[in-house]
């Protein structure tokens, strides 16, 4: 049951048929891991904390730099040189003191992934590099945890839900089989506009809320955002039986 | 025969053509060595099927590379 304070605070989302008090209780009982507290992790964590997700585990080993402020909207000039996850936790706690926040102030490696992914209901990939994305994807497949991938550079973004609980769900590795020669393009090398991150992060937060409240979420669908031409495109994919990560 | 390659109208030099052949002709060598995914008319095609996928007039072929940033 919700308290009367919770009923008031979350009234505008409880009002939705598909959420209701039952959905709000599910959000309160949920735990989510957010890998990366940069341009995607900032808005994702803000929306999930505001929505009343019970526990957020947020991971980032980086310090806030002046070049982050153009897009990482939780951080201010006073926060430069602080650890991103620690600083974000403080701001998120100011927004919602009911949310439990655990900080991982280092980059995710195999051991941290294994340990933390086991504790959560949904994993959100907001990392800025493909090695971490492959790692998180693989551990989510092993542990059968839904994985909400997002990435953006320039004017473009990609978003995919992997749900290893479904036998026919493709994984990130089905889509992009790992290659030794991955393109070396990230925000440092090709640039990024803040609102492009907000588009992808908004979709990641929405998909996560739906997963947590048992609303059907489309997996096997890559959402592609082109912010230059203002277009969304959807591509359908299939689980690859020869996939090194999720195939038999 | 014309197809759309990443949205650009492209005239195929020697139709009929398989997807594998088209990728070999129209992707740079550097692109071909990277990790990428190909969709024909919005459906992804598995790598093993490239050689068996015959392109048709007006097909939309999209070649996607993983985006890294976040």
CA-based nearest residue in chain B for residue A150:
B70
Q: Note the pLDDT of residue A184.
A: 58
Q: pLDDT tens string for chain B (70 positions)?
A: 899 999 999 998 777 789 999 999 888 888 888 889 999 999 999 988 999 999 999 999 999 999 988 8
Q: Note the pLDDT of residue A235.
A: 96
Rounded-to-5 percentages of helix, strand, coil across chain A: 40, 20, 40
Q: Note the pLDDT of residue A178.
A: 80
ipTM for the whole complex: 0.87
Q: Note the pLDDT of residue B1.
A: 87
Can you list the positions of beta strands (E) in chain A? Answer: 31-35, 55-59, 100-104, 122-125, 147-153, 156-162, 221-226, 231-236
Closest C-alpha among A32, A76, A40 to residue A58 = A32
Q: Note the pLDDT of residue A162.
A: 98
For tokens 């900080």, the residue is: A103
Top residue of A171, A231, A235, A247 to mutate, by most chain B CBs within 10 Å, is: A235
Low-confidence ranges of chain A (pLDDT < 70): 180-188
Q: Note the pLDDT of residue B29.
A: 87
- Pairwise CA distance, residues A228 & A185, whole Å: 18
A180 vs chain B: nearest CA distance in angstroms? 8
Measured in degrees and rounded to the nearest 5, phi and psi for residue B68 equal -100, -35
- Pairwise CA distance, residues B23 & B52, whole Å: 13
Q: Note the pLDDT of residue A185.
A: 57
B40 vs chain A: nearest CA distance in angstroms? 9
Contact A129 B67 (CB under 8 A): no
Top residue of A128, A152, A176, A202 to mutate, by most chain B CBs within 10 Å, is: A176
Note which residues in 78-107 of chain A have CB less than 8 A from chain B.
none
Q: Delineate the domains of chain A, giving CATH numbers in brackets.
A: 14-236 (3.40.50.720)
Contact A235 B62 (CB under 8 A): yes
| pLDDT single digits (tens) A44-63 | 999 999 999 999 999 999 99
The phi-psi region of residue A214 (left if phi > 0; otherwise alpha if psi is between -120 and 50; otherwise beta) is: left
CA-based nearest residue in chain A for residue B39:
A235
Q: Note the pLDDT of residue A183.
A: 56
Q: Which residues in chain A are closer than 8 Å to B70, comparing Cβ atoms?
A: 36, 38-41, 125-128, 150-152, 187, 197
Give the right CATH number for B2-64 from 3.40.50.11540, 3.40.50.2000, 3.10.20.30, 3.30.300.30: 3.10.20.30
How many CA atoms within 13 Å lie on the side-chain side of A187? 22
Catalytic site includes residue A187: yes
Which residue ranges make up each domain of chain B? 2-64
Q: Note the pLDDT of residue A34.
A: 98
| pLDDT single digits (tens) A206-246 | 999 999 999 999 999 999 999 999 999 999 999 999 999 99
């Amino acid at each position: 049951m919700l308290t009367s304070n919770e009923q008031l605070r979350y009234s505008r989302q409880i009002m939705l048929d598909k959420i209701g008090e039952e959905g709000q209780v599910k959000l309160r009982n949920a735990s989510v891991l957010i890998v990366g507290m940069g341009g995607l992790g900032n808005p994702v964590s803000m929306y999930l904390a505001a929505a009343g997700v019970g526990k957020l585990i947020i991971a980032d080993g980086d310090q806030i730099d002046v070049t982050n402020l153009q897009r990482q909207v939780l951080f201010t000039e006073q926060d430069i040189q602080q650890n991103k996850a620690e600083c974000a936790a403080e701001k998120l706690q100011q927004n919602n003191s009911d949310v439990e926040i655990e900080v991982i102030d280092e980059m995710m490696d195999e051991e941290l992934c294994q340990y933390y992914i086991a504790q959560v209901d949904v994993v959100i990939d907001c990392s800025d590099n493909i090695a971490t994305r492959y790692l998180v994807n693989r551990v989510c497949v092993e542990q059968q945890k839904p994985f909400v991938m997002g990435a953006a550079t320039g004017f473009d973004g990609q978003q995919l839900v992997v749900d290893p609980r479904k036998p026919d769900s493709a994984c990130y590795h089905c889509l992009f089989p790992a290659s030794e020669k991955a393109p070396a393009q990230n925000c440092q090398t090709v640039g990024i506009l803040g609102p492009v991150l907000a588009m992808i992060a908004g979709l990641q937060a929405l998909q996560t809320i739906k997963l947590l409240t048992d609303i059907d979420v489309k997996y096997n669908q890559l959402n592609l955002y082109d912010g230059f031409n203002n277009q969304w495109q959807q591509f359908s994919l299939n689980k690859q039986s020869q996939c090194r990560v999720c195939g038999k | 025969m014309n197809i759309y390659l990443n949205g650009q109208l492209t005239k195929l030099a020697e139709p009929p053509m398989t997807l594998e052949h088209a990728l070999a002709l129209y992707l740079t060598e550097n692109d071909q060595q990277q990790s990428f995914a190909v969709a024909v008319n919005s459906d992804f095609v598995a790598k093993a099927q490239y050689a068996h996928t015959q392109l048709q007039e007006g097909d939309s072929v999209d070649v996607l590379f993983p985006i890294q940033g976040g």
